Amino acid sequence: MDKPKHTPDGSLSTLVGNDRPSSDDRDIEKQVDSSGDPQPNKQLFPVTDLARGIVGWEGQDDPDNPQNFVPGKKWGLLLLISACTLISPLASSMFSPAVTFMAADFGETNETLLSFTVSVFLLGYTFGPCLLAPLSEIYGRRIVLSAANWFFVVWQIGCALAQNIETEIICRFFAGIGGAGCITLGAGVIADLFPVEQRGKATAIWGLGPLVGPVVGPIAGGFIGENAGWRWAFWVLLIAGGVLAAAVELLNQETFAPVLIRWKLEKMAKETGRTDLRSAYDGLDGNADSGPAAVRQALKLGLLRPLLLLVRSPIILLLSTYMAFVYGLLYLFFTTISSVFTSRYGFSSGLSGLAYLGIGMGFLAGLAFMAFTNDRILVRSTAKNGGKFEPEMRLPLMIFFSSILPISFFWYGWAADKHVHWIAPIIGMFPFGVGMMGVYMPIQTYVIDCYPKYAASANAALTASRSLVGALLPLAGPTMFADLGIGWGNSLLGFLAFAFVPVPIFFTSYGKTIRERWPVDLDGKKG
């Protein structure tokens, strides 16, 4: 009666990842078939499986299976984690316009150190995902997300009360580690809840925070720093983060199927007194040990998964590198906006934040386009492929959007360099926002489709690499633009973006071949 299936038969989602029977599941099916049971409508986990000690779902339509949650519940849980995902990226850039006020308080004049005070938050994004994602695949999404949220909130107090720049840097680093929770685990929650034909829209909603947050942050931070003082940027984050962390405690619930089945197993073992029970997700080896040695081994394997993906999966490494490159361009873009509009156009610190609306509107336009087209294109491509889904069907859109990216650097750079009316450079940022969303979303959804069971770890690999670049590359921005000027400095970035346009063509043409030639064992079953 127990079955590990996630969705009803006939759904497109039964064709990919952990939405289809794993090799272990098929082994169990063979084992049952070989028993000689003549039952004509035999299911994957017949009644005899419980007698054999295997605990799984109560059929394909089990309401406890997150894939079978009612739509309102699914989208409600996604919106909850998406709200948290907005606050964390907001914190990454909200402090940026107010950093000059902190510099005056601390008497700090080193521009590189001041820039690092802002970007060190992203360095926390580099380390946090590599720890939080594997833990969520061992202990569940809910407890790890809750712990990360409160960790983020507590460190805002340290940021607000810091009395020197060293303390500020340390507190922002640890706040970034906690803030990485929602950024990382959202991918896992999407894989837990949604079939493949709905993941594009779900990823677009969840992806709104990481891309819009850094844009809204400077707008809010500029006015707060100018009118209430730079410390109030952190008090506002403390209040908003605390409210959302409390909401997660009250409204969130576990969605990771292996953890839910483990809880079910423990309850059944207690009620029946049986000691031979094991989860359907534990395989067929009969050694589902939960002792200290097994826990240590699970932790070791889990913490290595993001690194394994980067080292052993060339396609994940290449996609991570490309996403990190685009992310680095974004943050180099950000390094000039505030100073350009205050020094060249006479904007105040508060008004300079409004200049980010150009790129923000581009993000929203790109997001809307991807939300409405990503899944539809996938369904049509699957139908044309004889009903066979392939994750690479997400990638062709990148070719068009990568071609849009370079436009902004030339438009914005030379409009600002030649002191064209302030609206011109703001409009010039729009194409980059559209293009970046068209690159970011397909990659994000692609890794979820490739590794649905370990989507959090796959996303951690992406997040860690791009955040490392986003944290360190902007430190070179002030020197580069001082030497080359706004026009030629941005043109250099535009030429680099143009040189990378063929990369999505390569991914679309050879991604499947690379993925299948270098598979990665994330379960640790091959030693």
**pLDDT tens for residues 306-358?**
888 888 888 888 888 998 888 888 888 777 787 888 888 888 777 877 888 88
Q: Are 73 and 126 contained in the same domain? A: yes
Q: Are 85 and 56 contained in the same domain? A: no
Q: Are 96 and 35 contained in the same domain? A: no
Q: Are 34 and 129 contained in the same domain? A: no
Question: Does this model's pTM top 0.95?
Answer: no
Q: Are 406 and 322 contained in the same domain? A: yes
Q: Are 46 and 86 contained in the same domain? A: no
In a domain, 428, yes or no: yes
Tokens of 417: 């360099």
Instruction: Name residue 220's amino acid.
Output: A
- What distance lies between CA 378 and its chain's CA centroid? 20
Q: Are 319 and 400 contained in the same domain? A: yes
Distances (CA, A) of 198 to 13, 84, 210, 373, 445: 9, 21, 20, 11, 10
Q: In this predicted structure, what is the pLDDT of residue 482? A: 83
Query: Among 52, 68, 84, which residue terminates a domain?
Result: 68
In a domain, 85, yes or no: yes
Q: Are 96 and 220 contained in the same domain? A: yes
Query: Among 40, 68, 96, which residue terminates a domain?
Result: 68
Q: How far apart are CA 358 and CA 426, in angstroms?
A: 5
Q: How far apart are CA 360 and CA 370, in angstroms?
A: 15
Q: How far apart are CA 190 and CA 207, in angstroms?
A: 11
In a domain, 446, yes or no: yes
Q: Are 46 and 155 contained in the same domain? A: no
Residue 151, domain CATH = 1.20.1250.20
- Structural domain of residue 4, as residue ranges? 1-68
In a domain, 29, yes or no: yes
Q: Domain count of the chain?
A: 2
CB 448 within 8 A of CB 199: yes
In a domain, 296, yes or no: no
Enumerate residue ranges in the chain where pLDDT < 70.
1-51, 283-295, 298, 524-527
In a domain, 49, yes or no: yes
Burial of 381 (0-12, 13-18, 19+ CB in 10 A): middle
Q: Are 2 and 135 contained in the same domain? A: no
Q: In this predicted structure, what is the pLDDT of residue 277? A: 81
In a domain, 160, yes or no: yes
CA atoms 431, 437, 443, 449: torsion sign = negative
Q: Are 57 and 192 contained in the same domain? A: no
Among candidate residues 418, 422, 415, 419, the one with its CA nearest the CA of residue 347:
422
Query: Among 37, 53, 68, which residue terminates a domain?
Result: 68
Give SS3 for 279: strand
In a domain, 46, yes or no: yes
Phi, psi of 458 (to 5 degrees): -65, -40
Q: Are 358 and 401 contained in the same domain? A: yes
